[in-house]
């Protein structure tokens, strides 16, 4: 059995792919210095590939090789800790949370935080202390059948964790799947949330990468998502040194820079970077074409907030458009994102190329 990789006219660096596969498959393939490990994933195998010649197919032969540290997920009943290549990356905290689950910390290579620690920790000197509900990285929206599942103000709504449905560790990727309920302030269910997070072992020391598949189902009647800027289906509050007034930089897929050119604009991706602990680091969020209202609009602020919000068209356009949406009873809404935590800024980390890898990956085939 051999592994054939077709780059598709573009060089690829640390690019996740899924390869169709029936039956047993070797765990590693190699051609010269190009070594690829694979891991079973449903009806196929997953791999992270490097293809440096955009016009040349690569044919790799099976080889016996030890993969070394991969992606390890550990669930203690209240949080899921994620380690990549032996290093801490993030923790998903789902029990005993004030309003909704969140990821914290989120660490760039070298253990450098790219999200704000407050209010979870009081120990980081110089951090801003506004918007208590901006808890690192989370999923939320501020007007769901009139309920506020965004803030932590009196009368706010909740996302209630129900179960961890899948937990996978492995040499190529790790994954968790959770089920939660969105409720109003009185506990009445509005939506069922199914969240899948897949963490990739890039085998590089300049980036970390994970994919989010977020599915919301209106299980108990129609659900109206109101037109409000107060929300982000995936929201990030960056570490305070990355804020634009502190020298940080926002950039989107069209080259828009900072809040003035990115807030309320639709774009395939948005990135926030700055210098933390003496190193330029960043976090970018990519919106997949299969997401609701792709490309999403961005609620992104110079003070450190970045959220994918496809509903706030009235706010974004000064009343010229209306963005509210009713999800019919029994229907499902899908949001798919890729999060890249990187060294450097958006250009240095090749956000453009990584986005194309996300939406149009190379082809892999076993033969």
Of 68, 100, 115, which residue is a domain's last? 68
Residues 264 and 311 in one domain: yes
**Quick one: 57 and 75 in the same domain?**
no
Residue 303's pLDDT is 98
pLDDT band for position 310 (50/70/90)?
very high
Q: What is the dihedral of CA 177, 182, 187, 188, to 10 degrees?
A: -120
Structural domain that includes position 13: 3-68
Evaluate whether residue 197 is within a structural domain: yes
Q: Convert the pLDDT of each residue in 110-130 to its tens digit.
A: 999 999 999 999 999 999 999
Q: 23 and 139: one domain?
A: no
Residue 94: CB partners within 8 Å, gap ≥ 6? 78, 79, 80, 101, 161, 164, 178, 180
**What is the pLDDT averaged over residues 343-362?**
98
CATH number for the domain harbouring residue 343: 2.70.98
The maximal CA–CA distance of the chain, rounded, in angstroms, is: 62
Let me know whether 206 and 238 are in one domain: yes
Residue of 138, 135, 126 lying closest to 241 (CA atoms): 126
Cβ contacts of 192 within 8 Å, gap of 6 or more: 179, 180, 181, 182, 216, 217, 219
Q: How far apart are CA 141 and CA 147, in angstroms?
A: 9
Q: In the chain, count of helices (H) and strands (E)? A: 3, 27
Is residue 31 domain-shared with residue 81, that is, in the same domain? Answer: no
**pLDDT band at 352, cuts 50/70/90?**
very high
Same domain? For 15 and 110 the reply is no
- Based on the number of CB atoms within 10 Å of its own CB, is 71 exposed (0-12), middle (13-18) or buried (19 or more)? buried
Q: Tell me whether residue 221 is in a domain.
A: yes
Domain boundary among 13, 37, 68: 68
The count of structural domains within the chain is 2
Task: Kindly state whether residue 365 falls inside one of the protein's structural domains.
Answer: no
Q: How crowded is the C-beta side of 242, counted as CA atoms within 13 Å?
A: 32
pLDDT category of residue 154 using cuts at 50, 70 and 90:
very high
Peptide bond preceding 295 in cis form (omega within 30 of 0): yes
Mean pLDDT for the chain overall: 97
Q: Are residues 299 and 174 in the same domain?
A: yes
Give the mean model confidence (pLDDT) for residues 141-158: 98
Do 131 and 163 lie in a common domain?
yes
Q: How confident is the model at residue 263 (pLDDT cuts 50, 70, 90)?
A: very high
Q: What are phi and psi of 184, to 5 degrees?
A: -80, -175
pLDDT at site 319: 94
* Distance between CA atoms of residues 85 and 205, nearest Å: 10
Cis preceding linkage at 269, omega within 30? no
Whether residue 164 sits in one domain with residue 53 = no
Contacts of 252 (CB under 8 A, 6+ apart): 261, 262, 265, 267, 269, 270, 271, 298
Q: What is the pLDDT of residues 313-341, one digit of tens each?
A: 999 999 999 999 999 999 999 999 999 99
Please check whether residues 50 and 78 belong to one and the same domain. no
Instruction: Kindly state whether residues 212 and 249 are assigned to the same domain.
Output: yes
Position 342 scores a pLDDT of 98
Residue 52: CA count within 13 A, CB half-sphere = 5
User: Looking at the domain assignment, is residue 366 inside a domain?
Assistant: no
> How much is the average pLDDT of 223-227?
98
Same domain for 87 and 61: no
pLDDT at 229: 97
pTM: 0.97
Which backbone phi and psi does 259 adopt, to 5 degrees?
-55, -40
State residue 137's pLDDT score.
Answer: 99
E-state strands within 26-78: 28-31, 34-41, 44-51, 58-62, 71-75
What sign for the dihedral angle of Cα 289, 295, 297, 299?
positive
Length of the chain in terms of residues written: 367
Q: If you write DSSP's letter for every residue of 300-331 in order, what string do you get?
A: E-TTSEEEE-SS-HHHHTTTSS---EEE-TT-
- From 34, 50, 68, the end of a domain falls on 68
Mean pLDDT for the stretch of residues 90-109: 98
pLDDT bracket for residue 4 (50, 70, 90): very high
């Amino acid at each position: 059995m051999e592994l054939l990789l077709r780059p598709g006219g573009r060089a690829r660096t640390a690019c996740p792919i899924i390869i169709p596969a029936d039956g047993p498959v070797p765990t590693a393939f190699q051609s010269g210095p190009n070594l690829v490990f694979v891991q079973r994933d449903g009806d196929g195998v997953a791999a992270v590939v490097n293809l440096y010649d955009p016009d040349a197919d690569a044919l790799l032969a099976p080889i016996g090789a030890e993969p070394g540290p991969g992606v390890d997920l550990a669930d203690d009943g209240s949080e899921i800790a994620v380690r990549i290549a032996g290093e801490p990356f993030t923790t998903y905290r789902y029990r005993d949370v004030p309003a909704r689950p969140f990821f914290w910390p989120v660490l760039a290579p070298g253990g450098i935080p790219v999200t704000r620690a407050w209010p979870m920790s009081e120990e980081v000197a110089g951090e801003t202390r506004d918007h208590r509900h901006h808890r690192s990285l989370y999923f939320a929206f501020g007007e769901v059948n009139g309920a506020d599942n965004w803030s932590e103000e009196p009368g706010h709504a909740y996302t209630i964790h129900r179960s961890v449905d899948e937990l996978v560790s492995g040499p190529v990727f790790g994954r968790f799947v959770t089920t939660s309920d969105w409720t109003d302030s009185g506990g009445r269910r509005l939506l069922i949330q199914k969240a899948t997070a897949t963490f990739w072992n890039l085998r590089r020391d300049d980036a970390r990468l994970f994919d989010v598949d977020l599915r919301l189902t209106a299980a108990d009647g129609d659900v109206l998502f109101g037109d409000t800027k107060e929300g982000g289906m995936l929201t990030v509050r960056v570490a305070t040194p990355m804020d634009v007034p502190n020298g940080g930089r926002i950039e989107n897929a069209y080259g828009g820079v900072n809040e003035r050119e990115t807030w309320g604009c639709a774009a395939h991706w948005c990135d926030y970077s700055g210098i933390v602990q003496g190193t330029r680091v960043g976090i970018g969020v990519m919106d997949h074409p299969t997401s609701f209202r792709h490309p999403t609009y961005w609620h992104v602020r110079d003070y450190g907030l970045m959220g994918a919000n496809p509903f706030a068209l009235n706010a974004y356009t000064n009343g010229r458009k209306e963005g509210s949406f009713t999800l019919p009873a029994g229907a499902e809404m899908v949001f798919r994102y890729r999060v890249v935590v990187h060294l450097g800024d958006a250009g240095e980390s090749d956000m453009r190329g990584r986005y194309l890898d996300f939406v149009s990956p190379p082809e892999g085939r076993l033969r």
